[in-house]
Structure 1
Amino acid sequence: MRVAIPCIDDRGLDSYVSQHFGRARYFVIADVDNGVKDVKVVRLPFEDHMPGDIPRFLQSLGVEVVITYGLGMRAMGFFESMGIRVVSGAMGKVGDVLDGFIKNSLVLDKDWRSKEEFSGHHCD
């Protein structure tokens, strides 16, 4: 399974999950199968984006699951239409988040939508 996690820099598993999906410039792409098999960091190939650009880019990389902290309803809709699962509310180091996801013990902030930054947010 290929997983994408938006991160704040290009340090891979040592990076931290970006608080906002649409503002991330880097994504950790990890192949997961009873553990992490392969990890790479990709930088978005564009500075500015239109709705759907990031979901389409991740889809082109074969991503099946996106693990993020927060994202807009539009981005969620794009992923849903593409058959890509979204896990929201994840925070901390990317390596720890991946480990928690694999072990089905990932602790999520269920209240991320109530944060001011995401209140009424509709774009990706």
Structure 2
Amino acid sequence: MKIAFPTEKFDELESPVYNHFGSANFFVIVDTETNVCEKVLNQDLDHQHGKCQPLKALGGRSVDAVVVGGIGGSALGKLKHKDVPVYKAVEGTVRDNLAKLENGELKEFMPIDVCGGHGDACDHH
């Protein structure tokens, strides 16, 4: 499986997972079979809020899941439309969250969990 983790800096499995999908500088994509990490620059960083293109952000990479602290409804809907589940990260590194995902300890994002906009419903910014 290939899992994408939005991050602000790239330090492979030790990268802290970022709090918001669309605002992340990078994505660490981990191949869970090999533990190889790929660094992907966010190709949609300058999007208008509510207009995130998650597949563009990921540079067209195919992933099997996303783990992030927060995500907007539009991005969540676009990922779910492509059958990519999105899981709510806990504070910590890619390694920490990968272990929790593999143990079934991360909750999948539902539409009620998404960001409503900066400053009001997004307490993770």
TM-score interval, normalised by the smaller of the two chains: 0.7 to 0.9
Given the superposition, is the C-alpha separation of residues 119 and 100 from structure 1 closer, same or farther in structure 2, using an over 3 Å criterion?
A: same
How far did residue 105 of structure 1 move? 3.4
* CA distance in 2 between partners of 1:99 and 1:25 (Å): 23
Report the residue type matching 1:42 in the other structure.
V
Q: Normalization by structure 1: what TM-score? A: 0.75
**Corresponding position of 1:102:** 102
Give the CA deviation at 1:7. Answer: 0.8
* Greater helix content: 1
**CA 1:86/1:47 → structure 2, altered by over 3 Å: closer, same or farther?**
closer
Larger RCO, structure (CA 8 Å, separation 6 or more):
1
- Which residue of structure 1 aligns with residue 4 of structure 2? 4
AA of the residue aligned to 1:86: V
SS of the residue corresponding to residue 101 of structure 1 reads helix
May I ask how many residue pairs the two structures share in their alignment?
Answer: 118
Counterpart amino acid of residue 18 in structure 2: S
Shift of 1:107: 7.8
Superposition deviation, residue 14 in structure 1: 1.2
Partners of 2:6 and 2:24 within 8 A in 1:
yes
Equivalent residues of 1:6, 1:68 under 8 A apart: yes
Aligned-residue offset at 1:27 = 0.6
Match of 1:72 in 2: 72
Instruction: Give runs of aligned pairs for residues 75-94 of structure 1, distance below 5 A.
Output: 75-94=75-94
Structure 1 stretches lacking a partner, 5+ long: none
- Counterpart position of 2:40: 42
Deviation at 1:43, TM superposition (A): 1.2
Whether the aligned pair in 1 keeps the contact of 2:2 and 2:30 (CA below 8 Å) is: yes
Output one character per residue of 1:34-81: Cα deviation in whole Å (capped at 9) or x when no partner: xx5321221123541252423344382111100011111111111111
Q: TM-score, normalised by structure 2?
A: 0.75
RMSD: 3.1
Superposed, 1:4-43 pairs within 5 Å as 4-33=4-33, 37-43=35-41
Q: Percent identity?
A: 26
